[in-house]
């Protein structure tokens, strides 16, 4: 509880620390030819980014889905874990890029499922192409980035994160899937594991599972465990972990999961 309270204070800016300068936060607009629309991203630069003593220093990149929802929380946690001000050094200082939503159901799903209403499902591959072929090159051109990249997603965003992990062509090294919606076409996800290039399993994946109550707890937890064990059964991955957060529900689990997930992904 003490650790969680500290995280809450940090995330919402109640803890004040003396800093050389406030970290730079701004938004950028990128026109995507792939998606045929404008996309807004929120950018948070590390404390040391504009330090005149380190003019050539480059930084890893964290791409955050559901950006408008989790930007402040994630920024607070990352600064707490990496800033020289706090001297925790659990992870390197990192450039955070939070993508604001336009159509979650379209962008975060790879396949379509049958519904009684019209839907825009199944655009996830195009959205990942936007990230990898348009957004990342833009960031590399305009910011001092490293090739080390982490993708973080919650719920449907976690589903897309897992799909990216299983893609041998993914440009990400680390994946943080928070209570991913594996109920979405679950059979397809399990089949994907069997057909995945073994090189994918060399990357790091952290899966967080929430307690979704008596009605859904067993189903949600079992789905995640089946997926986790399916990857372990390939015999190729030692870089995956799965945590069940019994005292957190689907809405509250992102806070502790981002902290613990980033610690795992950045462990030596």
Residue 148 scores a pLDDT above 50: yes
Count CB neighbours of 30 within 10 A. Answer: 16
Residue 238 scores a pLDDT above 80: no
Residue 190, domain member (yes or no): yes
Residue 15, domain member (yes or no): no
Residue 267 scores a pLDDT above 60: yes
pLDDT for the residue numbered 10: 52
Q: Which domain holds residue 64?
A: 23-265
Tell me: the pLDDT tens digits for 192-218? 898 898 889 999 999 999 998 776 656
Looking at residue 184, which CATH number applies to its domain? Answer: 3.40.50.1820
From residue 83, alpha-carbon distances to 27, 63, 124, 145, 147 in Å are: 21, 18, 33, 17, 20
Residue 18, domain member (yes or no): no
Residue 119, domain member (yes or no): yes
Q: What is the mean pLDDT of the chain?
A: 89
Residue 50, domain member (yes or no): yes
Q: How many independent structural domains does the chain possess?
A: 1
DSSP-assigned beta bridge partners for residue 97: 43, 63
What mean pLDDT comes out for the span 85-90? 86
Residue 245, domain member (yes or no): yes
pLDDT for the residue numbered 20: 45
Instruction: Residue 267: name the closest of 91, 113, 104 by CA.
Output: 91
Residue 94, domain member (yes or no): yes
Residue 13, domain member (yes or no): no
Count CB neighbours of 163 within 10 A. Answer: 25
pLDDT for the residue numbered 15: 43
């Amino acid at each position: 509880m003490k650790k969680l309270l500290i995280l809450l204070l940090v995330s919402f800016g109640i803890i004040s620390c003396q800093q050389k300068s406030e970290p730079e936060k701004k938004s950028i607009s990128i026109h995507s030819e792939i998606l045929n629309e404008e996309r807004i991203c929120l950018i948070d630069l590390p404390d040391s980014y504009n330090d005149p003593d380190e003019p050539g220093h480059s930084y890893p990149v964290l791409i955050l889905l559901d950006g408008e929802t989790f930007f402040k929380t994630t920024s607070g946690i990352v600064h707490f874990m990496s800033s020289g001000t706090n001297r925790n050094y659990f992870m390197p200082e990192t450039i955070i890029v939070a993508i604001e939503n336009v159509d979650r159901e379209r962008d975060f799903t790879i396949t379509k499922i049958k519904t009684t209403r019209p839907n825009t499902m199944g655009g996830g591959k195009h959205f990942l192409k936007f990230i990898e072929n348009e957004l990342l090159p833009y960031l590399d051109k305009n910011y001092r980035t490293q090739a080390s990249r982490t993708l973080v997603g919650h719920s449907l965003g976690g589903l897309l994160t897992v799909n990216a992990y299983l893609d041998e062509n993914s440009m990400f090294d680390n994946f943080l899937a928070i209570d991913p919606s594996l109920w979405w076409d679950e059979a397809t996800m399990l089949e994907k594991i069997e057909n995945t290039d073994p090189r994918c399993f060399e990357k790091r994946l952290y899966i967080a599972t929430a307690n979704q109550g008596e009605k859904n707890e067993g189903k949600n937890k079992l789905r995640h465990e089946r997926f986790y064990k399916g990857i372990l059964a390939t015999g190729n991955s030692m870089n995956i972990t799965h945590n069940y957060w019994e005292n957190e529900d689907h809405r509250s689990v992102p806070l502790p999961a981002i902290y613990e997930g980033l610690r795992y992904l950045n462990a030596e």
